């Protein structure tokens, strides 16, 4: 069971090949460079690597404008290099997930070029066309303030084409059975080359009805998700899809499937926004609400838990007043905000480099119900470059050392400028420096990852929100196979004391063993544990002490 559902206790690390390591001095990361750093990822405790798009692309949208689904962009290497990479990852016990971007293609894709050139092209109905500009063409843009419309006139085709994203990314007509068959073929191709699954981009748009006839909320074809799931399990039984679907909690189960027949994993955007609200306000109530509303309905479903990703920190699901509180705390300047809904900074600058708050945030990520997804560079507290446009500010090169270009490349001209100066420049924040410091964020992260993998209750167990009578402290209790874990997090800049009962079974040892230090707890005279948390403090407790070894061996 644990082997089949490997994703339930995985550590996922997201990176872009382009920004991780350059092996040939052209200023662009590549698969050979990535292979050189696999032992670093293995040592960190990573069990699954999620690659952002690396297929052939004009690179107008950082690879999300795909021009060939069946090849590697020459800037990053060859298909042979990719296979060598997946083989090397497998040798180290790490799985590979890749981005599956099938809501749209590049306008340079041969399919679109054929479709626009000839109304009788076999690819014409692979895209979405209209002779007239629909009346709602100026609604529903994914990038408001940057994107002007969702329908653009193509002179060659003599028609408007639909694009939910940028105008150089025409939407595929995913309702077309031939397009759906092609998506399965794409998945099968990469599965054959060694991947263990996909992070599917923009899933609600993939399954949505498209066309000039759509008015209001489009109808969604959830049978498509079931077909994707069935195909993967036929080809490779343990392959998964991690869905990007920023939806309301009432719709979660539609994507997971009412009987576990659709997506295995989804990112928990609702929880992410509640988490940042909690960090900004020292109030756990919105976070607790998100925890209650996003409880998976069956045991194989799993959330992906993250702090920051390669996009903006999307706060669009928060009430307006609460969203403004998060903006004020973490992105008060207009240059820090994006699309009228999000913050485009990396985590460390948002938290002002405060080590206590960084540890609190990561301890929360590793102990909230689901599988943690770590963004490259966050393990060393990398910063951002707000002079770069839109989301590129948080996509700069990995900082390996204090050498030229942060040890990323020998070239003086890199794909994006590296960050040499300031508190987050590579001269101060880099892997080599932190490796030599036992107390560094990098070494702390490695230790916390190792402990997270030793606490499968978080990935597998049932959770309850503890009633601590203090909105500034979040307490979660996990139970799995007669084992129990309690995690506490103080969101407040002041110390807090909480009192609670461990709820051990009769005859069991009522002792809380601190998994991160020797600060253990025994109940006081009133039968409750009294735990004092320092400012932004956290505790991971296992209930029962030595009894845990016996219980685990009995299962």
Of 128, 214, 135, 137, the C-alpha closest to 175 is 128
Same domain, 546 and 399: no
pLDDT tens profile 58-92: 999 999 999 999 999 999 999 999 999 999 999 99
The number of beta carbons lying within 10 Å of the beta carbon of residue 192 is 11
The segment with the largest mean pLDDT, out of 100-114, 132-146, 232-246, 497-511, is: 100-114
508: annotated active-site residue: no
Of 48, 8, 1, the C-alpha closest to 458 is 8
Q: What band does 123 get if pLDDT is binned at 50, 70 and 90?
A: very high
Same domain, 287 and 342: yes
Domain interval for residue 310: 6-103+177-453
Structural domains in the chain (count)? 3
- Specify which residues 514 forms β-bridges with: 541
Residue 172 domain flag: no
CATH number at residue 473: 2.60.40.1180
Q: Give me the chain's average pLDDT, please.
A: 94
- Specify which residues 199 forms β-bridges with: 99, 242
Same domain, 278 and 325: yes
pLDDT tens profile 455-477: 999 999 999 999 999 999 999 99
Cα 123 to chain center, whole Å? 33
Using an 8 Å Cβ cutoff, are 215 and 136 in contact?
A: yes
Same domain, 335 and 363: yes
Q: What band does 507 get if pLDDT is binned at 50, 70 and 90?
A: low
Same domain, 309 and 330: yes
Same domain, 441 and 479: no
**β-strand 512-514 against 538-543: which pairing, if any?**
antiparallel
Inform me whether the pLDDT recorded for 551 exceeds 50.
Answer: no
Same domain, 51 and 155: no
User: Is 188 strand, coil or helix?
Assistant: helix
**How many whole angstroms separate alpha carbon 448 and alpha carbon 370?**
16
Which is the catalytic residue, given 201, 312, 322, 385? 201
Same domain, 305 and 396: yes
pLDDT tens profile 292-329: 999 987 889 999 999 998 888 999 999 999 999 999 99
Residue 1 domain flag: no
The number of beta carbons lying within 10 Å of the beta carbon of residue 193 is 15
Q: If DSSP states are collapsed to H, E and C, what string results for 358-406?
A: HHHHHHHHHHCCCEEEEECCHHHCCCCCCCCCHHHHHCCCCCCCCCHHH
244: annotated active-site residue: yes
Same domain, 381 and 252: yes
**How many whole angstroms separate alpha carbon 226 and alpha carbon 257?**
8
Whole-prediction pTM value?
0.95
**How many whole angstroms separate alpha carbon 231 and alpha carbon 186?**
11
**How many whole angstroms separate alpha carbon 351 and alpha carbon 187?**
39
Q: What is the mean pLDDT of residues 375-388?
A: 96
User: Is 206 strand, coil or helix?
Assistant: helix
Which is the catalytic residue, given 244, 359, 384, 547? 244
Q: If DSSP states are collapsed to H, E and C, what string results for 106-126?
A: CCCCHHHHHHHHCCCCCCHHH
Same domain, 186 and 138: no
- 155: which residues sit within 8 A by CB, 6+ positions away? none
What pLDDT is recorded for position 508? 64
Same domain, 156 and 279: no
Q: If DSSP states are collapsed to H, E and C, what string results for 48-105?
A: EEEECCCEECCCCCCCCCCCEEEEECCCCCCHHHHHHHHHHHHHCCCEEEEEECCCEC
State which of 401, 423, 453 marks the end of a domain: 453
pLDDT tens profile 522-537: 999 998 999 999 999 9
**How many whole angstroms separate alpha carbon 475 and alpha carbon 368?**
10
Residue 229 domain flag: yes
Same domain, 20 and 50: yes
Residue 170 domain flag: no
Half-sphere exposure of 256 toward its Cβ, with a 13 Å CA cutoff?
24
State which of 453, 469, 489 marks the end of a domain: 453
Cα 316–Cα 318–Cα 321 angle in degrees, nearest 5: 110
């Amino acid at each position: 069971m644990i082997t089949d559902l490997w994703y339930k206790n995985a550590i996922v690390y997201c990176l872009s090949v382009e920004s991780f390591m350059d092996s040939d001095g052209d200023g662009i990361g590549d698969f050979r460079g990535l292979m050189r750093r696999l032992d670093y990822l293995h040592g960190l405790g990573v069990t699954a690597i999620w690659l952002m798009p690396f297929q052939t692309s004009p690179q107008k949208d950082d690879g999300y404008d795909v021009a060939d689904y069946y090849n590697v962009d020459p800037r990053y290497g060859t298909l042979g290099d990719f296979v060598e990479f997946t083989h090397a990852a497998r040798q180290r016990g790490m799985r590979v997930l890749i981005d599956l971007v099938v809501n749209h293609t590049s306008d340079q894709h041969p399919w679109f070029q054929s479709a626009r050139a000839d109304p009788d092209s076999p690819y014409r109905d692979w895209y979405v066309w209209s002779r007239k500009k629909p009346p709602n063409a100026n609604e529903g843009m994914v990038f408001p303030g940057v994107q002007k419309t969702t329908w653009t006139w193509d002179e060659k085709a003599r028609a408007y084409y639909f694009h939910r994203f940028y105008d150089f990314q025409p939407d595929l007509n995913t309702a077309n059975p031939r397009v759906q068959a092609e998506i399965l073929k794409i998945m099968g191709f990469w599965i054959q080359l060694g991947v263990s699954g996909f992070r599917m981009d923009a899933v609600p748009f993939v399954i949505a009805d498209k066309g000039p006839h759509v008015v209001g909320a489009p109808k969604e074809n959830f049978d498509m998700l079931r077909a994707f799931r069935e195909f993967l399990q036929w080809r490779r039984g343990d392959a998964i899809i991690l869905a990007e679907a920023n939806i309301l909690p009432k719709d979660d189960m539609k994507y997971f499937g009412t009987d576990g027949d659709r997506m295995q994993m989804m990112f928990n955007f609702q929880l992410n926004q509640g988490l940042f609200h909690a960090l900004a306000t020292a109030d756990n109530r919105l976070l607790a609400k998100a925890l209650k509303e996003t409880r998976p309905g069956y045991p194989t479903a799993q959330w992906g838990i993250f702090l920051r990703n390669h996009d903006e920190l999307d706060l669009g699901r928060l009430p307006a007043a609460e969203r403004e509180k998060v903006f004020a705390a973490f992105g008060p300047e207009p240059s820090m905000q994006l699309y009228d809904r999000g913050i485009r900074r990396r985590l460390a600058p948002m938290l002002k480099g405060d080590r206590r708050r960084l540890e609190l945030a990561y301890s929360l990520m590793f102990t909230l119900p689901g599988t943690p997804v770590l963004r490259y560079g966050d393990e060393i507290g990398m910063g951002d470059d707000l002079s770069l446009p839109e989301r590129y500010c948080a996509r700069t090169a990995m900082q390996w050392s204090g050498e030229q270009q942060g040890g990323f490349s020998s070239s003086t001209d890199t794909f994006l400028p590296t960050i040499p100066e300031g508190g987050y420049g590579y001269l101060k924040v880099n892997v080599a420096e932190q490796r030599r410091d036992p107390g560094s964020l990098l070494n702390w992260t490695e230790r916390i990852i190792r402990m997270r993998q030793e606490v499968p209750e978080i990935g597998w167990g049932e959770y309850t929100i503890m009633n601590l009578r203090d909105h500034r402290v979040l307490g979660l209790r996990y139970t799995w196979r007669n084992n129990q874990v309690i995690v506490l997090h103080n969101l407040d800049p002041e110390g807090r004391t909480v009192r609670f009962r461990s709820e051990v079974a009769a005859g069991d040892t009522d002792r809380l063993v601190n998994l991160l230090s020797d600060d253990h707890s025994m109940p006081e005279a009133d039968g409750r544990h009294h735990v004092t948390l320092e400012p932004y403090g956290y505790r991971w407790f296992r209930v029962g002490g030595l009894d845990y070894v016996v219980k685990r061996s009995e299962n």
